């Protein structure tokens, strides 16, 4: 009996010590999700100053210390994933401050002033109209704050290359108008809903004209002056981020972030890209033989870029093709997925204000038309660069089974995961899934001609080339022309798209790596599952494992699939 008492006492003391030295994961997640550095009512477009990133980094450092006290061994599978993801997110907040990323709010096709275009949405109520007016009134603070940050960036040598800003003037000059009624920011007031009284409509219109005249247009005039007299003259000539102070370390940090692992270097990714380019090119050569094209690989690419059969002449026609492809994919989804999202999605054109420097297509899960639905945006600008044979792959990637399916399911997971995981997007997982979706569309029979299959391969080749050129730019001293030549020699992308994509890679170090790295990992895991499970492999069950935990890092995804395989083998 005495021995039992001693044992009980030891267990009691151990449990007490454990409880005193551990912290609840739920409480840490709650603290993270409820933390805010500012009042949105005071800063309708957000707070922007150098103190904010430091506050976030300090907060993240404190939470990481608390996470160190969590008893990880007693967490269930979902809690363990939340624990690992929160550590990943918090570390990136610290890295943002360490590498002063907030001093560089520009990319070739994105930027602080371009983001203002997304504030323009249909107005559904009087309250929405008032909120929109408040955001318009906040534009002067927003722009001046960005100027202050970017001036500090210029002083520290944290600045984008000048070469990516060719044609950038369109991004701000379009908003410098004499008549406020012609402003893009006034457009939501042209169709106010009937649930707003005429008296209120009149007051809203007067206020909108005044704010656009006094606040919006002057802000864009200042943006023009800032870019043309301060920023662009002092932007750098070298295109690689390694040319910046601490640039090489920053690039490795971005490799780690965008691959969600620490197993890659610029050299290893470059070599992987070269191998993938060679593998995919061999498949492309087979299709050239299949269509009995007489000429070289380069001649076939030129044929694809110029023959009229591969283009339409109106934006509506391009949208119609995209919608047809999307509905054909919709029909195949039940055979490949156990669960489909409830949220619908639409196919719309890229807004004219941002189309010239925008990519060929992109998915947005936000409320663009005032309703909660996903949107597959198709760029109808410069139609002679929008090839029809690549449209099926683009649609599979951006809509279904790509970003919309994955993103909507992630949002619809209810209380099974914390809110921060619903809001989380990691490119290695999300873009890896999008590229895998292009591959999956081939199994679905979506590519109906050899040219469309070649389009899928050229999109895959495009992502493989990214491994080569992104590392070439930021670690190996490649010039912009070397990137353009390499892309044009190996993909059937239009020259316009190659130019816009090249500028994107220059301005956004590392992000382009995530697509192929993520897709290769998903395909590797699928091959592993097929090999281990043989005839018992179920594609719908496999996809359920990939999607059921929401956005995760690639190491977490691999753990999930290995656990699924082990359980299926035992079963």
Q: What tokens appear for 451 in the block?
A: 């040219």
Same structural domain for residues 312 and 361?
A: yes
Residue 19 lies in a domain: yes
Residues in Cβ contact with 215 at an 8 Å cutoff, skipping those fewer than 6 apart: 136, 137, 139, 140
Q: Are 451 and 291 in contact (CB under 8 A)?
A: yes
Query: pLDDT by residue (tens digit) across 440-471?
Result: 999 999 999 999 999 999 999 999 999 999 99
Same structural domain for residues 277 and 408?
A: yes
Residue whose entry in the numeric block shows the structure tokens 């619908």:
344
Residue 65, classified by CB atoms within 10 Å of its CB into exposed (0-12), middle (13-18) or buried (19+), is: exposed
Same structural domain for residues 319 and 421?
A: yes
The pLDDT assigned to 2 comes to 52
Q: How far apart are the first and last CA of the chain?
A: 43
- Domain carrying residue 184: 114-237
Q: Which 3 state secondary structure label does DSSP give 426?
A: coil
Residue 104 lies in a domain: no
Same structural domain for residues 310 and 414?
A: yes
Q: Which of 282-286, 348-352, 488-492 has the highest mean pLDDT?
A: 282-286
Rounded distance, CA 393 to CA 463, Å?
12
How big is the chain, counted in residues?
571
The pLDDT assigned to 212 comes to 98
Over residues 275-293, mean pLDDT: 97
Same structural domain for residues 57 and 168?
A: no
Q: Are 169 and 224 in contact (CB under 8 A)?
A: yes
Supply the DSSP symbol for 111.
B
Same structural domain for residues 480 and 530?
A: no
How many domains are contained in the chain?
4
DSSP one-letter string for 113-159: HHHGGGG-----SHHHHHHHHHHHHTHHHHHHHHHHHHHHHHHHT--
Indicate the pLDDT class of residue 5, thresholds 50, 70 and 90.
low
Residue 243 lies in a domain: no
- Partnered with residue 361 across adjacent β-strands are 378
Examine the fold and report which residue of 203, 237, 271 is the final residue of a domain before the chain moves on: 237
The pLDDT assigned to 3 comes to 55
Q: Are 461 and 396 in contact (CB under 8 A)?
A: no
Residue 107 lies in a domain: no
Q: Which helix (H) or strand (E) holds 401?
A: none
The pLDDT assigned to 370 comes to 43
Residues in Cβ contact with 238 at an 8 Å cutoff, skipping those fewer than 6 apart: 161
Q: Are 122 and 369 in contact (CB under 8 A)?
A: yes
| Model confidence at 110: pLDDT above 90 | no
Residue 242 lies in a domain: no
Of residues 140 and 365, more confidence is placed in 140
DSSP one-letter string for 469-486: HHHHHHHS---HHHHHHH
Q: With CA atoms as reference, report the closest residue to 105 among 147, 138, 141, 54.
A: 147
Residue 517, classified by CB atoms within 10 Å of its CB into exposed (0-12), middle (13-18) or buried (19+), is: buried
Same structural domain for residues 535 and 512?
A: no
Examine the fold and report which residue of 177, 212, 237 is the final residue of a domain before the chain moves on: 237
Residue 103 lies in a domain: no
Q: Which 3 state secondary structure label does DSSP give 37?
A: coil
Residues in Cβ contact with 502 at an 8 Å cutoff, skipping those fewer than 6 apart: 469, 480, 483, 484, 487
Indicate the pLDDT class of residue 101, thresholds 50, 70 and 90.
very high
Residue 375 lies in a domain: yes
Same structural domain for residues 44 and 65?
A: yes
Q: Which of 5-14, 113-122, 293-302, 369-378 has the highest mean pLDDT?
A: 293-302
Query: pLDDT by residue (tens digit) across 47-65?
Result: 999 999 999 999 999 999 9
| Model confidence at 10: pLDDT above 60 | no
Same structural domain for residues 129 and 195?
A: yes
Question: What average pLDDT does the chain have?
Answer: 93
Over residues 141-148, mean pLDDT: 97
Q: Which 3 state secondary structure label does DSSP give 377?
A: strand
Same structural domain for residues 270 and 349?
A: yes
Over residues 503-513, mean pLDDT: 95
The pLDDT assigned to 21 comes to 60
Residue 566, classified by CB atoms within 10 Å of its CB into exposed (0-12), middle (13-18) or buried (19+), is: exposed
Q: What tokens appear for 514 in the block?
A: 């995530």
Residue whose entry in the numeric block shows the structure tokens 């960036």:
153
Q: Give the other-Cβ count within 10 Å of 214's Cβ.
A: 14
Residue whose entry in the numeric block shows the structure tokens 């108008």:
177
Residues in Cβ contact with 30 at an 8 Å cutoff, skipping those fewer than 6 apart: none
Q: Give the other-Cβ count within 10 Å of 182's Cβ.
A: 10
Examine the fold and report which residue of 98, 127, 161 is the final residue of a domain before the chain moves on: 98
Query: pLDDT by residue (tens digit) across 318-361?
Result: 999 999 999 999 999 999 999 999 999 999 999 887 788 777 88
Rounded distance, CA 382 to CA 379, Å?
8
Rounded distance, CA 171 to CA 220, Å?
10
Q: HSE (CB half, 13 Å, CA atoms) of 134?
A: 13
The pLDDT assigned to 372 comes to 60
Same structural domain for residues 22 and 142?
A: no
Same structural domain for residues 437 and 542?
A: no
Rounded distance, CA 398 to CA 378, Å?
9
């Amino acid at each position: 009996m005495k021995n039992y008492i001693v044992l009980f006492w030891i267990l009691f003391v151990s449990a007490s010590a454990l409880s005193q030295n551990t912290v609840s994961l739920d409480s840490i997640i709650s603290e993270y999700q409820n933390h805010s550095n500012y009042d949105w009512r005071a800063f309708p477009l957000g707070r922007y100053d150098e103190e904010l990133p430091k506050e976030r980094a300090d907060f993240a450092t404190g939470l990481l210390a608390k996470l160190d006290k969590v008893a990880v061994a007693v967490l269930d599978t979902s809690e363990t994933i939340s624990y690992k993801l929160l550590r990943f997110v918090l570390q990136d907040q610290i890295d943002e401050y360490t590498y002063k990323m907030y001093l560089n709010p520009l990319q070739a096709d994105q930027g602080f002033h371009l983001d203002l275009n997304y504030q323009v949405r249909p107005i559904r109520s009087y309250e929405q109209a008032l909120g929109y007016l408040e955001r318009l009134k906040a534009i002067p603070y927003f722009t001046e704050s960005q100027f202050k940050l970017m001036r500090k960036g210029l002083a520290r040598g944290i600045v984008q290359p000048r070469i990516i800003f060719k044609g950038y003037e369109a991004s701000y000059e379009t908003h410098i108008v004499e008549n406020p009624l012609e402003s893009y920011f006034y457009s939501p007031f042209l169709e106010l809903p009937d649930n707003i009284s005429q008296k209120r409509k009149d007051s809203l219109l007067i206020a909108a004209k005044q704010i656009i005249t006094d606040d919006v247009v002057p802000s864009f005039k200042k943006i023009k002056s800032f870019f043309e007299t301060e920023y662009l003259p002092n932007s750098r000539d070298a295109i690689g981020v390694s040319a910046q102070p601490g640039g090489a370390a920053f690039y490795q940090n971005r490799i780690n972030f965008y691959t969600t692992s620490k197993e890659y270097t610029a050299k290893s990714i470059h070599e992987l890209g070269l191998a993938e380019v060679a593998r995919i090119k061999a498949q492309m050569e087979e299709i050239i033989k299949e269509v009995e094209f007489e000429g070289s690989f380069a001649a076939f690419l030129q044929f694809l870029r110029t023959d009229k059969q591969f283009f339409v002449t109106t934006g509506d026609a391009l949208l119609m093709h995209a919608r047809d492809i999307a509905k054909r994919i919709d029909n195949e989804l039940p055979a490949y997925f156990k669960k489909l999202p409830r949220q619908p999605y639409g196919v719309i054109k890229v807004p004219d204000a941002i189309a010239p420097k925008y990519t060929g297509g992109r998915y947005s899960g936000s409320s663009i038309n005032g309703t909660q639905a996903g949107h597959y945006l198709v760029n109808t600008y410069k139609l002679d660069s929008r090839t029809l044979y690549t449209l099926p792959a683009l649609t599979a990637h951006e809509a279904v089974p790509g970003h919309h399916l994955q993103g909507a399911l992630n949002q619809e997971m209810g209380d099974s995961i914390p809110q921060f995981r619903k809001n989380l997007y990691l490119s290695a997982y999300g873009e890896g899934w999008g590229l895998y979706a292009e591959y999956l569309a081939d199994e679905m029979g979506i590519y109906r001609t050899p040219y469309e299959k070649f389009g899928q391969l050229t999109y895959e080749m495009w992502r493989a080339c990214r491994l080569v050129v992104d590392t070439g730019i930021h670690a190996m001293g490649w010039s912009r022309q070397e990137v353009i030549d390499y892309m044009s020699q190996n993909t059937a992308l239009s020259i316009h798209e190659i130019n816009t994509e090249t500028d994107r890679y220059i301005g956004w170090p590392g992000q382009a790596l995530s697509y192929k790295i993520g897709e290769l990992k998903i395909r590797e895991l699928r091959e592993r599952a097929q090999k281990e499970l043989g005839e018992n492999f179920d594609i719908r069950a496999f996809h359920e494992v990939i999607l059921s935990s929401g956005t995760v890092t690639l190491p977490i995804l691999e753990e999930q699939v290995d656990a699924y395989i082990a359980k299926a083998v035992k079963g």
